[in-house]
């Protein structure tokens, strides 16, 4: 018995594995020719009185109506004990048992009176063995099948001579004809084509599908963690009449009937805190958000964010909860996808073994010392006679190349000590967090705490130092993942900060909030002491699956329209 890999001729033409990926008119013409061949096969199926786009999978044909449709992984599970010491399946250990399965054809080759079919469903892959001696006249109908077709088949479990678990097919039927050729892993590699045709990418590149399966597991684990602690999941508006909840440029839309300008949600924060006022003391939302900003490996205009709010908690409480949440999610992912998780663990450059907690001022001071720079730098960097070149040489000699031009320009735009401190932190400390905070050969997540009040318009001022707020951001291998703070519940303080945002907008600032009178009114009814948390779900998936770009964890990222 020949099996895949033997020296025999393939059933299909080589072009079957060479779909058009934008290589020009020749490739397009070849693809169209293959499509016409496949359409002709569909016509032959119709001529036999069968539907090449069937919808009666339960069916009534003899030999299969009494069999339930079984997932391919379940078939493997049935014969888990049929392996020998070498890992191959042993025929004598496979009990006679019939199955009905369905899936997409990934591999199809004929060798004389035998055809091998590799089938894939949502749970995995399995081989079908089709023998002419068993199928009789139905064997000829295999000629109407192609790579990418979706079929159902029924028959008993078996092991081939090479010890591969298979189903010995007693009958089969085409369920869906695939008109377009299915690409291979090597022929479908163009990044933009993969994003545009994600439906093909998921078939051609199994590792891509694993990332999105992981995303579902991660999202479910986040929900389970919060649900177990008494949080209520809610939905709040995604179209707002005001810009609020974060400092970002919004997308603008228009409601025709009401003749109203609306803004697509940049954050659900202010609505969720209204619910805390209303008595929902633990509330969360997995919110689709939109920000009209640049696109990068970590930014997409449309993204998913987790926000939750907990009454009678502080930002310190949430640091403990964040560590527990991340470990819970990662442990769930390891339990649900152990093999793939192990591969991702090897690729990760960080560890959840421990976390660091560092005030922003201290992180900046440490960075200055590590770069060999004087603490007086923050007071002199704007001056024309500041020894920038000398500082640059010293920091470079210590392996810390700083973006001096943008740092200096950023400092010129600041108008108060808080903004100056944040600017210094952003350029001197943040780029080196993954390098400066490590355990063994891995970086550890870093909570940066004690943010200036000037850059945190919704956070509560510290009782001991009103220039700072009770806030943290979490950075994992240098990338921002979470933002949280003890919430401001003083309506007068909140109103003053909204006015400061409006004044900044009047001076030309673009990423500012509007004055939300209704939100201030809500606070005037009394919001209990509360802490709030926000985390980018796309970035969390990136980190846990060792994926370098955000577009690879979003099923259909925003792209420019196709040309031509």
Domain co-membership, 200 together with 248: no
Contacts of 33 (CB under 8 A, 6+ apart): none
Domain co-membership, 177 together with 234: no
- pTM of the predicted model, to two decimals? 0.88
What pLDDT was estimated at residue 187? 67
Domain co-membership, 314 together with 176: no
What pLDDT was estimated at residue 111? 87
Query: Does 535 reside within a domain?
Result: yes
Domain co-membership, 186 together with 318: no
Query: Does 499 reside within a domain?
Result: no
What pLDDT was estimated at residue 257? 94
Task: Residue 235: give its domain's CATH number.
Answer: 3.30.930.10
What pLDDT was estimated at residue 58? 58
What pLDDT was estimated at residue 85? 84
From the CB of residue 511, how many other CB atoms can be counted at a distance below 10 Å? Answer: 16
Query: Does 130 reside within a domain?
Result: yes
What pLDDT was estimated at residue 502? 84
User: Cα Rg for the chain, rounded, in angstroms?
Assistant: 30
Domain co-membership, 189 together with 234: no
Backbone angles phi, psi at 450, to 5 degrees: 60, 65
d(CA 446, CA 431): 12
d(CA 149, CA 52): 10
Task: Residue 69: give its domain's CATH number.
Answer: 2.40.50.140
Domain boundary among 158, 182, 204: 204
Domain co-membership, 164 together with 72: yes
What pLDDT was estimated at residue 59? 53
What pLDDT was estimated at residue 43? 97
Does residue 355 contact residue 438 with C-beta atoms inside 8 Å?
no
Query: Does 182 reside within a domain?
Result: yes
From the CB of residue 482, how many other CB atoms can be counted at a distance below 10 Å? Answer: 23
Domain co-membership, 275 together with 234: yes
Domain co-membership, 219 together with 182: no
Domain co-membership, 216 together with 189: no
What pLDDT was estimated at residue 8? 33
Domain co-membership, 200 together with 216: no
Domain boundary among 164, 189, 204: 204
Q: How many independent structural domains does the chain possess?
A: 2
Does residue 434 contact residue 442 with C-beta atoms inside 8 Å?
no
What pLDDT was estimated at residue 273? 96
What pLDDT was estimated at residue 218? 98
Query: Does 86 reside within a domain?
Result: yes
Domain boundary among 204, 238, 265: 204
Domain co-membership, 178 together with 213: no
The tokens for 480 are: 């921002």
Query: Does 26 reside within a domain?
Result: yes
Q: Count Cβ neighbours within 10 Å for each residue of 514-527 and write b for 16 or more, e otherwise.
A: ebbeebeebbeeeb
- List the domain range (segments joined by +) for residue 534: 209-351+513-553
Query: Does 397 reside within a domain?
Result: no
SS3 content of the chain, % helix, strand, coil (to 5): 40, 25, 35
Query: Does 431 reside within a domain?
Result: no
Indicate the burial class of 512 (C-beta count within 10 angstroms; 0-12, 13-18, 19 or more).
buried
- Coil, helix or strand for 548? coil
pLDDT tens track, the chain, 564 positions = 333 333 333 344 333 334 444 445 676 788 899 999 999 999 999 999 999 999 887 555 545 557 889 999 999 999 988 888 888 888 888 888 899 999 999 999 998 899 999 999 999 999 999 999 999 999 999 999 999 999 999 999 999 989 999 999 999 999 999 999 887 666 677 888 899 999 999 998 889 999 999 999 999 999 999 999 999 999 999 998 888 777 788 899 999 999 999 999 999 999 999 999 999 999 999 999 999 988 888 889 999 999 999 999 999 999 999 999 999 999 999 999 999 999 999 999 999 999 999 999 999 999 999 999 888 887 777 766 678 888 889 999 999 999 988 998 998 888 889 999 999 999 999 999 999 999 989 999 999 999 999 888 888 999 999 999 999 999 999 999 999 999 999 999 889 988 888 888 888 777 777 888 999 999 999 999 999 999 999 999 999 999 999 999 999 998 888 875
Contacts of 132 (CB under 8 A, 6+ apart): 113, 114, 139
Domain co-membership, 257 together with 302: yes
């Amino acid at each position: 018995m020949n099996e895949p890999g033997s020296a025999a001729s393939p059933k299909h033409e080589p072009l079957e594995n060479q779909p058009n990926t934008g290589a020009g008119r020749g490739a397009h013409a070849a693809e169209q020719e293959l499509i016409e061949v496949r359409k002709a096969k569909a016509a032959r199926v119709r001529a036999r009185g069968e539907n090449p786009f069937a919808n009666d999978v339960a069916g009534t044909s003899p030999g299969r109506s009494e069999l339930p449709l079984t997932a391919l992984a379940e078939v493997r599970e049935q014969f888990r004990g049929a392996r020998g010491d070498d890992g191959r399946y042993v025929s004598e250990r496979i009990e006679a048992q019939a199955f009905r399965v369905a899936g997409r054809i990934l591999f199809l080759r004929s060798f004389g009176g035998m055809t091998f079919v590799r089938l894939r469903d949502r749970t995995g892959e399995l081989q079908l063995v089709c023998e002419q001696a068993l199928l009789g006249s139905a064997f000829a109908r295999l000629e109407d099948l192609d790579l990418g077709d979706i079929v159902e088949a029924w028959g008993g479990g078996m092991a081939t001579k090479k010890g591969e678990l298979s189903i010995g097919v007693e009958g089969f039927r085409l369920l869906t004809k695939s008109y377009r050729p299915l690409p291979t892993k090597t022929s479908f590699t163009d990044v933009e084509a993969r994003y545009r045709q994600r439906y093909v990418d998921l078939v051609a590149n199994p590792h891509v599908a694993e990332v999105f399966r992981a995303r579902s597991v991660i999202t479910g684990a986040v929900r389970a963690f919060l649900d177990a602690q008494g949080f209520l999941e809610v939905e709040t508006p995604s179209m707002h009449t005001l810009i609020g909840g974060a400092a970002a440029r919004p997308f603008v839309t228009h409601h025709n009937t009401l003749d109203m300008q609306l803004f697509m949600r940049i954050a659900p924060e202010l609505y969720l805190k209204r619910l805390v006022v209303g008595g929902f003391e633990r509330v969360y939302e997995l919110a689709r958000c939109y920000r009209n900003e640049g696109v990068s490996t970590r930014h997409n205009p449309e993204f998913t964010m987790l926000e939750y709010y907990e009454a009678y908690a502080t930002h310190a409480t949430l640091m403990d909860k964040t560590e527990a949440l991340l470990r819970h999610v990662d442990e769930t992912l390891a339990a649900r996808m152990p093999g793939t998780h192990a591969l991702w663990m090897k690729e990760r450059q960080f560890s959840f073994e421990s976390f660091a907690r560092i005030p922003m001022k201290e992180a900046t001071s440490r960075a200055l010392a590590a770069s060999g720079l004087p603490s007086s730098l923050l007071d002199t960097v704007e001056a024309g006679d500041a020894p920038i070149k000398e500082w640059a040489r010293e920091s470079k000699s210590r392996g810390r190349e700083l973006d001096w031009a943008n740092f200096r320009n950023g400092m010129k735009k600041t108008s108060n000590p808080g903004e100056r401190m944040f600017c210094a932190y952003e350029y001197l400390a943040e780029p080196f967090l993954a390098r400066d905070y490590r355990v063994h050969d891995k970086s550890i997540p870093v909570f940066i705490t004690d943010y200036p009040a000037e850059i945190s318009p919704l956070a509560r001022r510290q009782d001991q130092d009103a220039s700072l707020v009770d806030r943290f951001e979490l950075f994992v291998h240098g990338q921002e993942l979470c933002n949280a703070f003890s919430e401001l519940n003083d309506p007068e303080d909140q109103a003053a900060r909204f006015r400061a945002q409006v004044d900044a907008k009047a001076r030309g600032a673009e990423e500012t909030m509007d004055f939300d009178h209704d939100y201030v009114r809500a606070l005037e009814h009394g919001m209990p002491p509360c802490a709030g948390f926000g985390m980018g779900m796309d970035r969390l998936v990136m980190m846990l699956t060792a994926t370098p770009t955000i577009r690879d964890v979003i099923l259909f990222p925003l792209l420019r329209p196709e040309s031509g």
